Structure 1
Amino acid sequence: MTLREAAGIYVDLIRLEESLAPDQHQARQEVSALRSKYHDLLTEALRVAGIPCADRFEATTRAFELVTEARRPADSV
């Protein structure tokens, strides 16, 4: 799995978790477990790529940056 793929899945899981109603306890638990798994994959991919992250918040910020860069249209020359 590439760094961008891990970041994309991780960001999608964060957004999914935020969209769930507070009373959807089981769904929240399942998404949270997946989010934790992909956070581990993301931090490992960041480490392999030589991108330092001091903590989980910085890793999350980097994931959102990678997803934003991937979705940005290429500049026309």
Structure 2
Amino acid sequence: KVVVGGFDLLPNTGPAIKKGITKAVIDQQPYLQGYYTVAQLAMIKYGKFAAFNIDTGRGIVDASNVDEVLELVTRRIR
């Protein structure tokens, strides 16, 4: 048996986790990566802050939480 894992939630990743085809994926939270990038550029433009590192966190999506995470993905929150 081969255990499959990966990065990012693609459209077919959630169903693959539910079916047991994929064990888990690392969720890098691309929505937050984009949001914080734009917010940081605005702050730099208006002289509020210099560039800084932002850790959007990480999470493992597996059978125990896939439904909860997919709900957030559908709502474009995560």
- After TM superposition, the score normalised by the length of structure 2 is 0.32
Structure of greater relative contact order (alpha carbons < 8 Å, 6+ residues apart):
1
Rg: which structure is higher? 2
- After TM superposition, the score normalised by the length of structure 1 is 0.32
Structure with the larger helix share: 1
Structure with the larger strand share: 2
